[in-house]
Amino acid sequence: MHRFDLRVYYEDTDLAGIVYYANYLKFIERARTEFVRELGIDQTALRAAEGVVFAVRRIEADYLAPARFDDELTVFTTPESVSGARILLRQVVRRDGEELFSALVTLVALGEGGQPQRLPANIRLLLQ
């Protein structure tokens, strides 16, 4: 399980001081980027060497409770499964242990032309 900490800034909120719903997607995107980086996967090098990029195919999201301006949040990212060209991740946003947002994210590996492409074996091993 990967942990990514962040703080809610004013720009992340709506007029009521509550995190705007779409910003949770930004939070989990940042966490996924850091998760992959900490695994030792250089996405720029992967694209240059293998022609492989990751793309979000599907997100199932549940908004459970609001985060507010100045909250300290933690995004937890856990791989659920990895197949030839697909990665399934569970991402949860918490504040002091309280679950605020949960998402099941399906990533796919794509080639330069946008077609599905197998993940390199070493990447699959890192994610399992």
Q: Is 14 a catalytic residue?
A: yes
CA distance 125 to 107: 16
Residue type, 44: T
Catalytic one of 5, 14, 62, 70: 14
d(CA 115, CA 64): 35
Phi, psi of 54 (to 5 degrees): -100, 140
Active site residues: 14
